[in-house]
Structure 1
Amino acid sequence: MNTFKRLVQYSKPYWWRFVISMAASFGVGGTDAALAYLVEPLMRKIFTEKNMMIFMMLPAAIMILYVFRGICRFLQDYFIRTAGQLAIQDIRNEIYARTMGLALRFFQRNPTGVLMSRIMNDVGSMQDGVANVVTGLLRDGVTAIGLLGVIFYRDWRLAIISFLVIPVTAVPAQKIGRRIKNLSKQSLGRMGDITSILQETFSGIKVIKAFGLSEREVTKFRATNRDYYHYIRKTYKYDALNAPSMEIIMAIGIAAVMWFGGKAVLKSHMTPEEFFSFVVAMGMLYSPIKRLLNSYSAVQRAIGAAERVFEVIDERPEITDPAQPVPFDRASGNVELRNVSFRYGDDYVLKNVSLTARRGEVVALVGPSGAGKTTVVSLIPRFYDVTDGAVLFDGIDVRQLRLDDLMRQIALVDQETTLFNDSIADNIRYGKTDASDAEVEAAARAAYAHEFIMEMPEGYATNIGDRGVRLSGGQRQRLCIARAILKNAPILLLDEATSALDTESEHMVQKALNNLMKNRTTFVIAHRLSTILHADRIVVLERGEIVESGTNDELLARGGLYRKLYDMQFGAAETPA
């Protein structure tokens, strides 16, 4: 019930739509009750009293009544469904907004496909449930109340007999509904697995084809799809059991009414017209009650989906703004890691790391894979919070700054070259959303991207496709650099920005990076040592600890780990092919 109440809360802003729908529901319910009530006097007037005037007017009256009912039905369905859609839209907006506010650790725990499934499939299941329950409560509830009034007016004894079976139908409906809710949650989980496979295979299709593993992926997809069918089949089974079980119970009530009512007519305690009117009303009554009970299954599916959606909405962000943030406009560029330790789980990735970068300095981070280089760069913008110690900008702990203020100080260029399915101009403008066309072009020129952009079919208006698929690696990287140049942040983070490029592309990108690094405090992660030989300071990490620090010449002279890495790279380069 708590989940259901919470679900209904989202409908409150659209109360006026519910009011219109409710008023129309009274029209629908009132029409059904009036039809059932008028059966007896009409039959008496036409067949007993032979009133031909009423007989002649009856077709027109029926047409008018059903036109009125149709208008009411349209208003009720339209306004209740639009209200439900708007409520679901709010839920989908909220889950997306909440997800965007969560830390990177959350996205590491939850695959992209699963999150996509919760936002699309789970919320869609909630929409079906909301539409069913609200429509049922309004239309079928009002209709049932009106018809109950008719049958109690006609004969309260027969009404009690027919009414006794209604509570009994709730027993199987409740048990079946509970089972459907659990199966719905499990089937939605399997649908999340299917979405995850689709996302992975479509984004990695080049690798799959290159290794000839298409058939393996198809087999995996079929197995997951079969697993989903296993759960959805059970849901269908219980759904299919719902209606017959209720109809069998209702048949008992109908049989009892026919028995006792028939005896009453034979003993002249009741006229045939009254009995027929009662039977018509009772038959009409069972239909909305059956729909109400059927909607219970839809509600249970919606609650199962809602519980999964609310799990994401209720996820507490690990990285939040401080209660009393320190006002911060623009950093001068002094960055310090003071006795920083960090762990993802039980194992420490960084141990007591202390590092200072002064304004305008270029600090390079090198070391073997898994040494903690990317973790250092991830702690500076608070993608994660340190386990111990502190990261400081101009002497202020970054945890004391608003996240928006913090992010304005940082520009990031990493090896993933994240671009969006949009125009070139808008991808560059991601660094400054209100930038003019002239500013965008200036940033592109500084990133050595203007020339190839102008060769594109529509220049800066060219759509680059999903993840920039229409561009080469070097072109994508230069657009990312242009985006960072446009942001004009005082602190720059470069995470292996040239690691995946060929020599020619690397040369162009390195020229663009040199423009980007001017007058900025820069942290560089580079596997290619040739790109950081002139760094102001090279910090060597191993197993989460700083083992060496100095300039290229100083570190080579010491003959430590850096010298070993240097000899491995440059020695291999000088070996004849």
Structure 2
Amino acid sequence: MTDRERAGYDTGWRVYRRLLSYAFQYWPLLITATVTMVIMAATEAGFAALMKPLMDESFGADESQLSRWIPLLLIGLFAVRGVAEFGATYSMRYVGRQVVKRLRTELFERLLVMPVQRFQHQSSGELISRLTYNVEQVASAATDGFSVLVKDSLTILVLLAWMLYLSAALTMTVLVIVPAVVLLVNVVTRQFRRLSHRIQGNMSDVTHVTQEVIEGHRVVRIFGGEPFERERFEGINEGNRRLHMRMEGVKAAYVPIIQFIVALVLAFIIWMATSDTLGDEVTAGTFVSFLTAMLLLLTPIRRLSTINATLQRGIAAGQNIFAVLDEVPERDTGHTPMERARGALRFEQVSFRYEPGGPDVLKDIDLAIEPGENVALVGRSGSGKTTLVNLLPRFFQPTRGRIFLDGHDLSDLRLRDLRRQIAYVGQHVTLFADTVANNIAYGRVGTTLDEIREAAAAAHALDFIEQLPDGFDTEIGENGVLLSGGQRQRLAIARALLRDAPLLILDEATSALDNESERKVQAALANLMHTRTTLIIAHRLSTIEHADRILVLDAGRIVEQGQHADLLARDGIYTHLYRLQFREAEAG
């Protein structure tokens, strides 16, 4: 075995031990299952043992009293086996579903605290595949694999012990197959693990493409993307079929080869038993009992040979799952509590880059914002506006410099307390497949319906909500699919208003509203902004003309700041952007 193969084997064994640790948390059931498996193994040998008196006495010259009890013994044997098999199967299935539940819970918990950067570097389809498909593979390896390993290993040991008792010479002949089987298992193990990794990666692609088509079905239909998506999915689907067939090909060849080796040994044993090689050592009953035990060996040997594929799939899936579980969670370095902030913000020489060797997205930002001040961020696409506000909830940490809230360094504040100070409405609204009321009250436990209605009224959403079939109890579908874009945006605004946080971030929050709704929402927001520190990312400059201050960003720097009229008088970047939008509006 090469160093690389040895390292892979060691890693695979460590992963499998970790998988088993989840099953061992339910050790009473595992002990119950193991005891019943011992009983099942004993019944296998018991059946073979009954063949000896049956042949030697029932069909011999003398018929003993024992042979008359064989039918009843046979019935009793299989009754005990049936009860034991039920106990073993149910116990292991229960443990298996507990392992699935535990792993999915841990994965979901990890997703909730995973750093934002991880979501940017990994597709949602791949993460979902690990939570669904991979977990099932892991549970199968941790429970079904364990069950087969224990039950069939015990069965083989008990049957071999009985065969040794009957004839050591014939048993030694059977054991000739062991080195050949071990060599074959070693070769096939590497194939199974390699193919399992590729299959699981392909399943992530299947999930990812399917999710994109479902979420973007309108774009696909309008732009005629059906042929492209069909061809793309067909390529991935065909690749999945080929990988599975390669796996099945290995499995299909694996079992017959082992069975052929066993058949060679069986033929040799029959030759020995029917020749004079063993003399009078083997009677008819001994031979039939030995042959029965050997035939009973074939099933557990076959299962043990095929369980390798399950184990390797589980190990490959476990490596993918544990890569997520071992991900360092979002760091909370803060220790200072904060009940409610006044809303004073200060940026001191803040710079930020997404990658260690990448360019600075923000450069030397010096900025002070007073409590209750309404500040708009404008600039060309890629100028750093969204990145700047993403530093406030500590989605990212500044590469250099510090940010203060009410004189407290953001990195010193407890993360939960910091984010409780912020309400957010983004350009891309996120709603949940729940009722209108629960979407507005999201994140606030114990909110009353009157408070929800008040927030909806302030966001000018009450009129359309009351027209819905069940009002505030109406289910709005996945991401609010049953609502219009403007209605979804007003629900998001109502949610932000209900949060009543001292910091309000609006990222093009009125972009999906018609002119009339926009005027209503702007009026509602204007009534609330004087009590909050508000940062508005705006592409439509007409919506921020009355801001207390407008910051113009370019290439990650604040190049201009002031009120609307002052900036227009300077004839700088802001003036250029404003005139450009004005001409576009006139042309429209």
Query: Does TM-score exceed 0.5, indicating one fold?
Result: yes
Find the counterpart in structure 1 of residue 331 from structure 2: 320
CA 1:388–1:267: 2 relative to 1, 3 Å: same
Q: Aligned to 1:339, which of 334, 339, 349? A: 349
Counterpart of 1:538 in 2: which secondary structure?
A: strand
CA 1:337–1:49: 2 relative to 1, 3 Å: farther
1:495 lines up with 2:507 in the alignment: yes
Find the counterpart in structure 2 of residue 63 from structure 1: 75
Query: How far apart are 1:39 and its partner, in Å?
Result: 1.4
The letter for the 2-side match of 1:48 is G
Separation (CA, whole Å) in 2 of partners of 1:541 and 1:512: 27
The letter for the 1-side match of 2:385 is K
C-alpha distance after superposition, 1:48-75 (max 9, x if no partner): 2543755554333322221221111111
The letter for the 2-side match of 1:294 is T
Separation (CA, whole Å) in 2 of partners of 1:199 and 1:69: 47
Counterpart of 1:250 in 2: which secondary structure?
A: helix
Separation (CA, whole Å) in 2 of partners of 1:63 and 1:179: 43
Find the counterpart in structure 2 of residue 447 from structure 1: 459
Query: How far apart are 1:436 and its partner, in Å?
Result: 2.2
Find the counterpart in structure 1 of residue 402 from structure 2: 390
Separation (CA, whole Å) in 2 of partners of 1:154 and 1:257: 13
Counterpart of 2:442 in 1: which secondary structure?
A: helix
Matches within 5 A, 1:138-287: 138-263=150-275, 267-287=279-299
Find the counterpart in structure 2 of residue 408 from structure 1: 420
2:493 touches 2:509 (CA, 8 Å); kept in 1?
Answer: no
Query: How far apart are 1:99 and its partner, in Å?
Result: 2.0
Matches within 5 A, 1:89-108: 89-108=101-120
Separation (CA, whole Å) in 2 of partners of 1:282 and 1:121: 38
With 442-451 and 362-371 compared, the bigger mean Cα shift is at 442-451
Counterpart of 2:441 in 1: which secondary structure?
A: helix
Find the counterpart in structure 1 of residue 473 from structure 2: 461
Between the aligned residues of both structures, percent identity stands at 39
Separation (CA, whole Å) in 1 of partners of 2:564 and 2:242: 61
Query: How far apart are 1:576 and its partner, in Å?
Result: 6.8
Query: How far apart are 1:273 and its partner, in Å?
Result: 0.9
1:414 touches 1:494 (CA, 8 Å); kept in 2?
Answer: yes
Separation (CA, whole Å) in 2 of partners of 1:446 and 1:509: 8
User: In the comparison of the two structures, how many residue pairs are matched?
Assistant: 574
Find the counterpart in structure 2 of residue 480 from structure 1: 492
Find the counterpart in structure 2 of residue 84 from structure 1: 96
Q: Aligned to 2:376, which of 364, 368, 385? A: 364
2:550 touches 2:563 (CA, 8 Å); kept in 1?
Answer: yes
Q: Aligned to 2:128, which of 116, 136, 147? A: 116
Counterpart of 1:11 in 2: which secondary structure?
A: helix
Q: TM-score, normalised by structure 1?
A: 0.96
Separation (CA, whole Å) in 2 of partners of 1:2 and 1:463: 46
Counterpart of 1:10 in 2: which secondary structure?
A: helix
* Unaligned runs of at least 5 residues, structure 1: none
Query: How far apart are 1:143 and its partner, in Å?
Result: 1.4
1:540 touches 1:546 (CA, 8 Å); kept in 2?
Answer: yes
Find the counterpart in structure 2 of residue 352 from structure 1: 364
1:330 lines up with 2:340 in the alignment: yes
1:27 touches 1:72 (CA, 8 Å); kept in 2?
Answer: yes
1:166 touches 1:250 (CA, 8 Å); kept in 2?
Answer: no
1:481 touches 1:512 (CA, 8 Å); kept in 2?
Answer: no
Separation (CA, whole Å) in 2 of partners of 1:512 and 1:220: 47
Separation (CA, whole Å) in 1 of partners of 2:522 and 2:403: 28
Find the counterpart in structure 2 of residue 296 from structure 1: 308
RMSD: 1.8
Query: How far apart are 1:544 and its partner, in Å?
Result: 0.6
Separation (CA, whole Å) in 2 of partners of 1:157 and 1:508: 95
1:523 lines up with 2:535 in the alignment: yes
Separation (CA, whole Å) in 1 of partners of 2:190 and 2:389: 49
C-alpha distance after superposition, 1:247-295 (max 9, x if no partner): 1222232223222233358732221111211111111123212211211
